[in-house]
Structure 1
Amino acid sequence: MTLQDGDLQNRIRFERKTMARDPLGGQDKPVWAEVVSVWAKATNNLAATTEAVAAGADRYREQVRFDIRPRQVDPQWRIVFRGCVFDIKSIAPSNDRSEMAIIAVAGLTNG
């Protein structure tokens, strides 16, 4: 199935960890810097969330599938979507290479 322009309704931001120089001469600190912002189709995997809530979990991990146009994406990057940080778990191009699916999970790390 080909990704249509009308499907791309969510703006996501890819970020990578870089080292920022301390202006006062202290140790360099890791910070997240924007790589690129793209349009994506976001599909929430509600089954995993529903199971966690039904089991009485206080915290759960939200899993989302992002479908985007093909581009270079490093699995070490993260995605920021609607103010929430998602760790990239898998990246898979379609068979015809016209799109790519990224599975990402929120709540694994604090940045």
Structure 2
Amino acid sequence: MATHAGDRRHRIRFERPVIERDPLGGDSAVRWELVVEVWVKKTNQLSATAEAVAAGADRYREQVRFDMLARKVDPKWRIVEGDTIYDIKSAGISNDRSETAVLAVSGLNDG
């Protein structure tokens, strides 16, 4: 089912990891580089979150589905929405190739 432009109300950023090497041979560090910003429809998958909150967990994962216009998404990337960072778990394109759906989780990492 196609999402309408009015349904895509959330602005997110896709970022890719870039490994920076220390010129003196020290440890390398990962920084995140902007790939693109897009408008998406965001749908919370509430069951996992509700169970964790009900159990009194300090940390829990929030699973979210993002629907957007068709675009290639690399699972190594991450999604940033405001201060929330999501790890991409899967991405797929619709049968008519008009949209991409991304399942992502947040809450278990520090970025």
When normalised by structure 1's length, the TM-score is: 0.89
Look up the match of 1:96. 96
For structure 1, list consecutive stretches of 5 or more residues without a partner in the other structure. Answer: none
The equivalent residue for 1:80 is: 80
The root-mean-square deviation of aligned C-alpha atoms, in Å, is: 1.6
Q: For residue 48 of structure 1, what is the aligned residue in structure 2?
A: 48
Residue pair 1:87, 1:108 contacting (<8 A) in 2 also: no
Instruction: Provide the secondary structure at the position in 2 that maps to 1:85.
Output: strand
Segments of 5+ residues of structure 2 without an aligned counterpart are none
Moved over 3 A (4+): 24-28
Who is 1:36 aligned against? 36
Count of equivalent residues: 110
- What residue is the counterpart of 1:67 in the other structure? 67
**SS, match of residue 59 in structure 2:** coil
So what's the TM-score if we normalise by structure 2? Answer: 0.89
The residue that corresponds to 2:9 in the other structure is 9
Sequence identity, in percent? 58
Deviations 1:19-69 (Å, cap 9, x if unpaired)? 2366x8674421011110001001111221111111221211011100011
